[in-house]
Amino acid sequence: MHDLYIIKLGGSVITEKEGNRFEVKREAIARISAEVKKALDEKEFSLIVVHGAGPFGHTNVTEYGINDGVFDEKQKEGYEKTGKDCSFLDSVVVEELKKAGIEAVSFDPNGIVKQDERKIVEVETEGVEKALEEGKIPVLFGQMVPDKKLNFSVMSGDAVIGFLAKKLKAKKVFLGTDVAGIFEEDPKKNPDAKRIEVIDKGTFGEIVKRVGEAGTVDVTGGMKGKLEKMKAMLKGTTAVIFDANKEGNFYKALVGENVEGTEIRL
């Protein structure tokens, strides 16, 4: 098999996450899909796509109080709504990938992932691996999944990326967000904020202390949570965080061209 890359389409990139609106940015998904197809046509590599849920996950989880598990009737209703909403968003992503000429195959984490107190303990990867062998592009996403102690719990896209990267020995992970990497301050509030070029084992702890939580509803902990999941799971795999809203960045990243962002080597 060719080198395996995993890409993340952040919830802030493909949905109206900042306004907590249940709206899909279909044009952004179509543009990124075209960039991915162009890269696949020019370079040989295997690929897994993972996307965030935006308000389709985070807002529902907060509204129904299901971040700490699913037990009563209202929480069960919230679990069902969240699952359907996240699956709807995924259907749009897969549809746009297919329109671009990519043979995308959806894998709902609810059916293949098990957690224990919000931590992934098992992922059935046989179907994903078979799809890769057949030259297809597996697509996974942030979702509510079975949990041994909490009945069901939130599984973030970042967590499953880490698990898959480790198990399937991904060469590189590309995290497309709405900012050009990780900054010492919030670049949306301070345009002069300094970007951190590289994060490694030696600088990780200090940088995590400085990175803030998400400014929008984000039950997975925003950029700080993203970094902590990377440390726990991305041993031996390089990750790059960059601005996916900038046209051409996904294409450049996948074909090996330089993209402004933050490289994580743990």
- Per the DSSP assignment, residues forming a β-bridge with 240 are 174, 263
| Token pair in block for residue 117 | 């107190």
| Token pair in block for residue 149 | 């102690």
What is the pLDDT at residue 214? 54
Sequential pLDDT tens for the chain (266 residues)? 699 999 999 999 999 987 889 999 999 999 999 999 999 999 999 999 999 999 999 999 999 999 999 999 999 999 999 999 999 999 999 999 999 999 999 999 999 999 999 999 999 999 999 999 999 999 999 999 999 999 999 999 989 998 999 999 999 999 999 989 888 777 878 888 889 899 888 888 888 777 765 555 555 556 777 677 677 667 778 899 999 999 999 999 999 999 999 998 87
Whether 217 and 146 have beta carbons less than 8 Å apart is answered as: no
What is the pLDDT at residue 227? 75
The domain tally of the chain equals 1
What domain range includes position 177?
A: 4-265
What is the pLDDT at residue 98? 98
DSSP string over 168-232: TT-SEEEEEESSSSEESS-TTT-TTPPEE-EEEHHHHHHHHHHS---SS--TT-HHHHHHHHHHH
Whether 82 and 144 have beta carbons less than 8 Å apart is answered as: yes
What is the pLDDT at residue 209? 78
| Token pair in block for residue 179 | 């900012």
Whether 23 and 15 have beta carbons less than 8 Å apart is answered as: yes
What's the CATH code of the domain at 111? 3.40.1160.10
Burial readout 86-105 (b: 16 or more C-beta within 10 A, e: otherwise):
bbebbebbbbbbeebebebb
What is the pLDDT at residue 9? 98
| Token pair in block for residue 210 | 């400085």
**How far is 175 from 262, CA to CA, in rounded Å?**
10
What is the pLDDT at residue 216? 53
What is the pLDDT at residue 1? 67
Taking the model in full, what pTM does it have? Answer: 0.92
| Token pair in block for residue 1 | 């098999």
Ordered strands of the 119-123 beta sheet: 119-123, 113-116, 143-147, 151-155
**How far is 158 from 229, CA to CA, in rounded Å?**
7
Residue with tokens 């074909």: 255
